[in-house]
Amino acid sequence: MWWHQHNLCFRNPLEEGYSSGDLEKKVATITETDESADSEGVIDSHKHREILSQRPSYRRILNELSSDVPGVPKIGEEKSEEGGSPPGITTMAVPTSIYQTSTGQYIAIAQGGAVQLSNPGSEGVQGLQALTMTNSGAPPPSAALVHYAAQAADGKQQFFVPGSQVVVQDEETELDPSHMAVATGDMPAYQIRAPATALPQGVVMAASPGSLHGPQQLAEEATRKRELRLMKNREAAKECRRRKKEYVKCLESRVAILEVQNKKLIEELETLKDIYSPKTD
DNA sequence: TACGGCGCTCGTCATACACT
DNA sequence: AGTGTATGACGAGCGCCGTA
């Protein structure tokens, strides 16, 4: 299967003015040329053309193409070089919830209560640093979840974790028996506090549906759902664009390889013609 | 230096598709 | 049928570059 053989990425086709549609046409054209020299691949290539003529779903296309060959990484699966723990991660629990603060920092709440922070420069949740909260634990199933963070009036960053606790950025790392402060290296410190204080502006608190009363809460719930949907779609769009880039790169590499193959086959054909054509002497 | 064109990235919306 | 996800389309913002 060509995908296994030619899963190489050389140049960025977008810089060369190819749209993904152009590339697909070009690949299809070259594939047809390729098939004329190899009749055994007709069925496979027909399948490929069928796939490419569908609405492009990069994950589906690549996964279908790679499904024939075990060991070929599928999009969506973590490759070894991408999925391995990046340097700087000291502890990596599987996060159950990922939040983004108003400054772009990612906060992952892992099972067991570990809070992991990553700086906005890192991609996704790479570069997460683990902070294990001693007084954290698995939230009760009915606990309200708040997915958003906001800048408090005092400039401190606040976000909320399952279990109705508030995590407040604390640059001074003041210690108080009522809460805990943690700091790792140059990471800012955070405190876990009981949510006694009023919510900062811009923070929408989620509540269980049964506790909603009145149009105000309903509106807040609708706003929260919309914000959550937008946030998820934002992340989905990023991931989709990343996959599309990867897909286009690999299409381009396939074009390059098939062009070389095509050239070789044409040369071979010319050689055979020279050998077997009747001499007119 | 100001301005316009161009390309790129990102967020959002609409919608097709998959899953339950 | 309802819900979540993936992706095309669109517009805004930004940086770069050439030109007057």
Band of pLDDT at residue A271, cut at 50, 70 and 90: very high
pLDDT reported for residue A270: 95
CA distance A126 to A122: 6
Q: Give mean pLDDT, residues A233-253.
A: 87
pLDDT reported for residue A170: 36
Q: For A222-237, how does the pLDDT look when each residue is reduced to its tens digit (9 = 90+)?
A: 888 888 888 888 988 9
**pLDDT for A196 beyond 80:** no
Smallest CA-to-CA distance from A31 within A18, A49, A17 is with: A49
Q: For A54-98, how does the pLDDT look when each residue is reduced to its tens digit (9 = 90+)?
A: 344 555 555 555 544 444 444 443 333 333 333 333 333 333 344
Comparison of pLDDT for A75 and A176, the residue scoring more: A75
Percent of chain A predicted with pLDDT > 70: 23
pLDDT reported for residue A279: 66
CA distance A281 to A12: 52
- Distance, angstroms, CA A233 to C1' C8? 14
pLDDT reported for residue A213: 60
CA distance A41 to A48: 10
Largest CA distance in chain A: 105
User: Is residue A11's beta carbon less than 7 angstroms from any atom in nucleic acid strand B?
Assistant: no
Band of pLDDT at residue A255, cut at 50, 70 and 90: confident
Q: For A27-57, how does the pLDDT look when each residue is reduced to its tens digit (9 = 90+)?
A: 444 444 443 333 333 334 334 333 333 344 5
- Distance, angstroms, CA A17 to C1' B2? 29
Q: Give mean pLDDT, residues A216-224.
A: 80
Distance of CA A273 to the CA centre of its chain: 52
User: Is residue A238's beta carbon less than 7 angstroms from any atom in nucleic acid strand B?
Assistant: yes
CA closest to B7 C1', residue: A15
